[in-house]
Amino acid sequence: MESQTIVEALLLGLLEGLTEFIPVSSTGHILLAGHFLGFESTGKAFEVLIQLGAILAVVGVFFRRLWTIFIKLPHSRRSKRFVLGVLIAFLPAAFLGALMHDFIKTVLFETPMLICIMLIIGGVVLLVVDRMPLEPRYRDIKEFPFAVYLGIGLFQCLALIPGTSRSGSTIVGSLLMGVDKRAAAEFSFFLAMPTMAGAFVFDLYKNRDVLSAADLPIIATGFIAAFIAAVFVVRYLLDYVSRHGYALFGWWRLVVGAVGLIGLLVWG
């Protein structure tokens, strides 16, 4: 049974890494997959804690840029402005997520039908927005107006509903506010770091009394798998969306949501 659980954790970790930074809802995918596999994690902590692997993938791929921002921070207006912008975008979802944590984990995470519906709705929205004749006004993620940073942060709050997608909500919000497609995905990467790190620390704290050493191999397996898969996605996603946009991910959401609904109606 434990070896089977390790295999499931490996599969779910790979799924997390492959879907975290594309607008299809990684949480929705692993919750649905876990539901049909019969995978149960302590306090639903696995689904959140393995995201640290995806965070480290972004840090690894963008390390030079992060280091440059860090060393220039004391004397660079652009670096200070960008860090402040990320903080502004991070705070709304951080506050609302902490406030609604128990409801999200005990109700929304346990409602696979809702996840499927949100996948389908999000797919339709993504397809519509991707085809809209939007005129990009902002291409440099360090020079967005502060109102745009805040707007992206408010859109990120929608991702507290599993199946919506953190990257999907921030990318759609960015596009609607005049950010070009590549910059929308790029800023989503940077915003993911404090958002997912905060979720990791907060969830670990909330589950400190229920997690045990027996949970460590399962979480570690998912963590490593998520890191490896996410490195691949982060390296190639920006070039892909620059050339092809987001339509593929809209169709992906529609297919997964529809298949999930059928599965729930047939098998429960």
pLDDT-derived band at 1 (thresholds 50, 70, 90) equals very low
> How many structural domains is the chain composed of?
1
How far is Cα 158 from Cα 163, in angstroms, rounded to an integer? 10
Q: Which residue has the higher pLDDT, 49 or 88?
A: 88
Give Cα 51 to chain centroid, integer Å.
8
Q: What is the mean pLDDT of residues 149-170?
A: 95
Range of the domain at 14: 2-267
How far is Cα 63 from Cα 23, in angstroms, rounded to an integer? 23
Tell which residue, 153, 132, 158, 129, has the closest CA to residue 27. 158
Q: What is the mean pLDDT of residues 238-244?
A: 89
Q: What is the CA radius of gyration of the chain?
A: 18
pLDDT at 45: 79
- Most confident of the ranges 106-115, 191-200, 247-256: 247-256
pLDDT at 259: 96
Contact 41, 268 (CB under 8 A): no
